[in-house]
Amino acid sequence: MLTALKFPPQMIKLILVCVSSPWFTLSLNGSCFGYFQGQKGIRQGDHMSPLLFTICMEYLSRVLTVVTEKMEFNYHPLCRAMKLSHLCFADDLLMFCRGDIWSIRVILKAFDTFSNASGFEMNYDKSNIHFNGICSTEVDNILRMSGFKEGQLPFKYLGIPISYKRRAIGDCSRLVEKVVAKLRGWGAKKNYLWSASEQFGKTPAVSWESVCSDKRYGGLGIVNSRQWNLAMIGKFTWWLASKSDHLWIKWVDHVYMKSTNWFNVPIHSFIAWMCVKQRLLTKDRLLNFGMIIDGRCELCSSADETHAHLFYQCPFSVRCWCLLQKWLDIQLPGQDIIGWCVNWRCRSLLKTQVLFAAVVALLYIIWQSRNLCRLEHWVRTPTEVIKEVKLLIQQRLQSRRWPSKFQLLIHGLCL
Ligand SMILES: [Zn+2]
């Protein structure tokens, strides 16, 4: 294996000497007694062992890549586009394939080849096979042929439950419990400066922002988890947008985004997303940053411009939502309309799409109207706003291919 990977002969010789000639000594009450020779292999904890292990797994990985190219092998449906057949992490190996006897046979053959070359044996006690969406006869056949035990889903991998379903909050409760337990340990230390639990309730000596700021700026350098999370989301979004060369990014891109270009996401969807995340720079935030002095709403001048006011409570917005409800003939809630839409179920695909597109478009146009008013003192009426919403929806719907029975409906919808 080392020769094939073009390691220099001298190096291979050195490695083999290390592997075949370890001596052991016993340590009793602090002093060492005697020496005896090991049979083969390297000691656990030897710095060389993870490196040699990596080389072995690289060999297995290459064997798997070659055999999965074969005609008889069928990729797992969600892994086909990326030709993903396996993932290795530390000494764990995850294999994916379509649940048929031919594909499993190809994998077993690869393991055989690997065993013959490396001397490693598969541990059947520690291996499981998981099925989803396969009839019980096929499952029985595969279990009999492969000799694997059937594992149950969800199972845990690196502390995260792996399931075929979308992960629910409950699935992560163990993880949350662990984090909370860890934080409890910290609570005592944290209480020194900052009240970690409600029962302490004292006025903090130092603001949480100062505690979180870098040591260079007089803080304690504790990570602000909310900002950290936001930064991570931003980083992942950037990776997705720039199609960065990460396995996870490629998978999300192929499976969920169907390789669409992130930059083609319409600006109104982006603004609506910012609105849901409450990240738009409304005046209350600008005031906080000390960037303005007048925080009143541009559209009505009768209240402070907060996120809730601008999008849901301002008389201008209320009127717009009213007109939209009348047009769509639907009752909308007075806040978090996007959240409500996500849970809204309707049998008609067209109706669902129109509702979503309309809400997204209106949020965008309210924000646009506010900016026009602020920067160009140009006031739009709610009727004009709704007209524009209809136009945006028409454009959006027409950009997709709909069955002909919908064509007329879409045309009529926006008149
Ligand atoms: Zn207002």
Beta bridge partners of 129: 150
pLDDT digits (tens, 9 = 90+) for 395-415: 777 766 666 666 666 666 655
**Distance between CA atoms of 35 and 318, rounded to whole angstroms?**
86
For tokens 């900016």, the residue is 371
Residue 7: pLDDT band with limits 50, 70, 90: confident
Instruction: Please tell me the predicted confidence (pLDDT) of residue 414.
Output: 54
Contacts of 379 (CB under 8 A, 6+ apart): 299, 369, 372, 373
Q: Given a cut of 80, is residue 325 above it in pLDDT?
A: yes
Query: How far apart, in whole angstroms, are the C-alpha atoms of residue 373 and residue 365?
Result: 12
> How far, in Å, is the centroid of ligand 1 from the Cα of 84?
53
| Percent of the chain's residues with pLDDT above 70 | 81
First CA to last CA distance, the chain: 72
- pLDDT of residue 232 exceeding 80: yes
Q: What sign results for the dihedral spanned by CA atoms 400, 403, 407, 410?
A: negative
Mean pLDDT over all residues of the chain? 80
pLDDT at 302: 92
pLDDT digits (tens, 9 = 90+) for 256-288: 766 555 555 567 778 888 888 888 889 999 888
Predicted confidence band of residue 357 (pLDDT cuts 50, 70, 90): confident
Q: Average pLDDT for residues 293-302, to the nearest whole number?
A: 91
Taking residues 73-89, what's their average pLDDT? 86
Q: How far is the CA of 380 from the centre of ligand 1 (A)?
A: 13
Per residue in 205-218, pLDDT tens? Answer: 667 777 777 777 77
Measured in angstroms, how far is the CA atom of residue 18 from the centroid of ligand 1?
A: 77
Q: What is the pLDDT of residue 401?
A: 65
Q: Contact, 208 vs 194, CB < 8 A?
A: yes
Q: Pick the more confident residue, 72 or 106.
A: 106
> Which carries the bigger pLDDT value, residue 95 or residue 162?
95
Task: Give start and end residues of each alpha helix (H) in 192-266.
Answer: 208-212, 225-241, 247-255
Rounded distance between C-alpha atoms, residue 184 and residue 197, angstroms: 9
- Contacts (Cβ under 8 Å, ≥6 apart) of 294: 283
Residue 396 C-alpha to ligand 1 middle, in angstroms?
A: 29
Q: How far is the CA of 371 from the centre of ligand 1 (A)?
A: 13
Q: What ranges make up the beta strands (E) of 160-244?
A: 160-162
Instruction: Tokens 């080389």: give the residue.
Output: 55
Q: Are 80 and 103 in contact (CB under 8 A)?
A: no
Contact indicator for 312, 320 with CB cutoff of 8 Å? no
| 272 CB burial (10 A radius; 0-12, 13-18, 19+) | buried
The proportion of the chain whose per-residue pLDDT surpasses 90, expressed as a percent, equals 15
Q: What is the pLDDT of residue 316?
A: 95
Provide mean pLDDT across the span 36-45. Answer: 60
Collapse the DSSP code of 129 into the 3-class scheme (helix H, G, I; strand E, B; otherwise coil) and give the result. Answer: strand
Q: Omega into 315 within 30° of 0, i.e. cis?
A: no
Neighbours of 205 (CB within 10 A): 10
CA of 415 to the centre of ligand 1 (A): 29
CA of 321 to the centre of ligand 1 (A): 14
Residue 315: how many other CB atoms lie within 10 Å: 13
**Which residue pairs, CB below 8 angstroms and at least 24 apart, start in 99-102?**
99/131, 99/132, 99/133, 99/134, 99/138, 99/139, 99/142, 100/74, 100/138, 100/142, 101/138, 101/141, 101/142, 101/145, 102/72, 102/73, 102/74
The pair of structure tokens assigned to 279 is: 């990240």
CA of 288 to the centre of ligand 1 (A): 19
Q: What is the pLDDT of residues 173-227, one digit of tens each?
A: 878 888 888 888 776 665 555 554 545 455 666 677 777 777 777 777 777 777 7
Alpha-carbon span 250 to 255, nearest angstrom? 8
Distance 284 CA to ligand 1 centre (A): 13
Closest CA to 98 of 67, 72, 124: 72
* C-alpha 369 to ligand 1 mean position (Å): 11
Amino acid letter, residue 107: I
- Rounded to an integer, what distance in angstroms lies between the CA atom of residue 352 and that of residue 50? 53
What angle is formed at CA 229 by the lines to CA 224 and CA 233, rounded to 5 degrees? Answer: 150
138 touches 99 (CB < 8 A): yes
The pLDDT assigned to 321 comes to 94
Name which residue leads in pLDDT, 358 or 347: 358
CA distance readout (Å), 318 to 85, 313, 325, 382: 53, 6, 11, 9
Pairs from 377-383 (Cβ < 8 Å, separation ≥ 24): 379/299, 382/316, 382/319, 382/320, 382/322, 382/323, 383/323
Name the pLDDT band for 296 (thresholds 50, 70, 90): very high
Strongest mean pLDDT among 91-95, 106-110, 172-176: 106-110
pLDDT at residue 297, as a whole number: 94
Say how many C-beta atoms besides its own lie within 10 A of residue 411's C-beta: 12
Omega of the bond prior to 9 within 30 degrees of 0, cis? Answer: no
Which residue type is seen at 335? Q
Cα-to-centroid distance, 390 and ligand 1 (Å): 23
**What's the confidence (pLDDT) of residue 247?**
85
